[in-house]
Every structure is written in C-alpha cells, then in structure tokens.
A and B are shown apart, each in its own frame.
Chain A
Amino acid sequence: MTLDWKIGGVLLGAVFFVAVLLVKPIGVSTQFVIFDGMIANAMSPDFISQTDDGYTSSNAYMAKSGGKYAKAAANPLNYGFVFVIAMAIGGAVSSYLRGGVGAAERRLPEVWRANYGDTPMKRYLVAFLGGFIALYGARLAGGCTSGHMMSGTMQTSLSAYIFMAGTFAAAIPTATLLYKKG
C-alpha cells in the first residue's frame, strides 16, 4: 500500500532532515559515475592513480575537484556509495514487506500496457534510453531529483529552482504525449 501523503511526506521530510543533521544532504546520481569509475579501473588499472596528496584519474571528470570522484571510486566503502547500496536494500525490504510487485507488473508497468499493449522489448528499450538521457542530464546538471529537487529546494538553492524549471518544462509534455491513456 502507498502511504497516505500526509504521513509519507512528514516521514520522508524527517529522512531529509536527519541526513543533513548528521551528515550532508541526500544525493544519488554521482554514484553512477563512481560505479563507472570502479568498472573502468577494474578493466584498466591505471584509470585511477594515487598521487602525493590524494587521487587522480586519466578521465578529466573523475579527476576534477581535487580527484574526489577518483578517490571515492578507489575506495568503494565510502558514505555516498554505501548510501546508494542501502537505498536498494531499503527499497527491496519495503517492497517485500508490502507484498511485492505482481508478475504482470514486473514484466511491464500497467501504464505502459494501457498505452502500448504487451510490448516488453519496446518498454525495455525506452527504459534503457530513458536511463541514458536521465543520467547524462543529471551529471550535466550536477545532480538529479534527489540532490537538486529534494535537497537543493530544501536548502533554498538557486540551482535547484533552475533545475526544476528545466525538468518540469520537459517532463510534463513528454509524459502527456507518451502516455495518453491512464
């Protein structure tokens, strides 16, 4: 069951608050880069290298800001990466406890079936392309729905409002055009 929005909103807000009280604001999309860095470094060990005062990488993006991404990718047991692993666990536990996702829904979301019928391959292609453009965009923007929209707005960051303007200007027409039924 989906939580009543009043309860869900206050509890989620409490999570945002505890994160910034104890550590720092929540963010997710950086960890896609960190994971890519881990893969790249496993395939070609000189992708990340240690320097006198930290880490650097042959990739300019991994090496930026004093090599902080390179450092995180070289040391997977860091706050940001473990946070995202824990999100997957927390999401799976919640899903399991409320009875899980049904077989039909696992194959295809209902809203897809309503608009495009039983076309799983098409759906998976759209999910793949959606993931590609969403993460490319998130890294270009320096954050995603979590880091900009939730954490940034909560902190009254100007960048969060710029991000939201772009996101909703694109997301609402896209969703309306693609999903006419539902």
Chain B
Amino acid sequence: MQILLALVIGGAFGFMLDRIGAANPNVITGMLTLRRMNLAKTIMLAIGTGSILMFGGQMLGLVDVGHMSVKSAYIGVLIGGVMLGIGWAASGFCPGTAVTAIGSGRKDVLFFIAGGLLGAAAYMVTYPVWKASGLLDPIAGGKVTLGAIPGSGYEAIFAVRGDILGIVIGAIFVLVAFVMPDGLVKSSDGAKVPAE
C-alpha cells in the first residue's frame, strides 16, 4: 500500500513540477533573477493551499496531526541553505526538479545528478566534522513550529493556536501570490529567453 502511494503521489508531484515549469532551468533562472515571478506565484499559492487544507483538515478532525514531520532548526540549516541556494542558482536545478527532469532529454541535468550524488557522499564522509562542531545542535528548541499545533507534540515559538496561525499564514501566501507582479526586475534587452 505504501509503495502504491509512493508511486501515485511521487508520480503526481513529478508531473506537477514539470507542468509548472520548475524542471526548466530557464524558468528557475527567471525566478531567481526576479525577472519572471510566475513560478514563485505558483509555489506560494501551492504552499498556501496545502497549509490551509492541512490545518483546516486537522481542525475538522479529518487529517491526522501525527502525519506532520517538522525538521529541527540549527545553524547548519542556514549554512546548508546558502550552499543549496548557490548550487540552485548556478545550475537552475534543485534536487527535486533535477529528479523530475531526468527523463526530459536535458543533458545538463544528468551532470547535476552525478554532482549531487557525489556531494551527498561528500557530506556522508564529512558528517562527523559537522557533528563535532556543534553546528548541528538544535537552536530555538529544535523541532518547533511558529504556533502551538494541538496534538502535534511540537513546541511553539509563539503562544497562539498553531493550526489557526497556519491557516492565516497560508492565506497570506495565497494573497502574496495574487498581488506579486509578474516581474520584479526588468528583463535585459539582450537575447530573448522564453518563459517556457
């Protein structure tokens, strides 16, 4: 059953990432240079939609709070985020969109995957150094959410109902998606790069 769900949900996720243009380095570069914000609007709407459905479902008792999985906060999250940001911007791929693009015929994505496997292996080898450095130690309570989500067992930063806050934040994501302009920075007059 789990394997069937992995096939269906994973397949749908890959299908959607391709359909929204996320598996296309031109679209990623357009977003990260702030020239074409269509993909950012899509992803913000998706996060908002997912958040509202999940927290709304929890409040109605339809969604199992135990399915949540909150990751720990530590300094390495920020350092790793910076590294991912550089690799993502330089290549136009991130781990998920690269996997999605494997079968598209793009040659560069195969190099990204090869580099990614080597980078992950390098982390496996150097993990004890990071562990010893203390940069993986939890900060601000580690696995925490912004508000207190009933039944989740996670600590909260703010003493407010986490499910209600989640719906409010989700609505803000949706709102920002709607008001965000199509481009924040003018495209250069140089070569035309199609949005797709």
A29 CA to B77 CA, complexed, in Å: 14
| A8 at the binding interface (Cβ < 8 Å) | yes
Q: A144 contacts which chain B residues (CB < 8 A)?
A: 84, 94-96
Asked if B104 and A29 sit within 8 Å, CB to CB, the answer is no
Asked if B93 and A135 sit within 8 Å, CB to CB, the answer is no
| B79 at the binding interface (Cβ < 8 Å) | yes
Given known A26-B13, A141-B76, contact A106–B105 (CB-CB < 8 A) = yes
Q: Which of A23, A114, A135 contacts B119 (CB 8 A)?
A: A135
| B150 at the binding interface (Cβ < 8 Å) | no
| B128 at the binding interface (Cβ < 8 Å) | yes
A157 CA to B140 CA, complexed, in Å: 12
Asked if B17 and A165 sit within 8 Å, CB to CB, the answer is no
Interface string of B62-92 (1 = CB under 8 A from A): 0110011111111011111111111111111
Question: Could you tell me how many residues of chain A have their Cβ less than 8 Å away from some Cβ of chain B?
Answer: 129
B83-119: which have CB < 8 Å to A? Answer: 83-109, 111-119
Determine the main DSSP class of B at the interface with A: helix
Q: A138 contacts which chain B residues (CB < 8 A)?
A: 80, 83-84, 95, 120
A16 CA to B53 CA, complexed, in Å: 9
A178 CA to B112 CA, complexed, in Å: 17
What are 22 A-B residue pairs whose CB atoms fall within 8 Å in the complex?
A5-B177, A9-B48, A9-B177, A12-B45, A25-B68, A28-B99, A79-B5, A82-B10, A88-B100, A91-B15, A95-B18, A130-B90, A137-B79, A138-B120, A141-B80, A142-B76, A148-B77, A154-B47, A167-B88, A170-B83, A175-B33, A178-B89
Question: Contact residues of B with A, CB < 8 Å?
Answer: 2-3, 5-21, 23-27, 29-30, 32-35, 38-39, 41-51, 53-54, 57, 63-64, 67-74, 76-109, 111-125, 127-128, 130-131, 140-141, 143-147, 149, 157, 162, 165-166, 169-170, 173, 177, 185, 187-188, 190-196
Top 4 nearest A-B pairs (CB, nearest first) are A137-B83, A13-B49, A166-B81, A9-B45
Question: Contact residues of A with B, CB < 8 Å?
Answer: 1-3, 5-6, 8-26, 28-29, 31-33, 35-37, 39-40, 59-62, 64, 77-80, 82-96, 98, 100-101, 105-114, 120, 123-160, 162-172, 174-176, 178-182
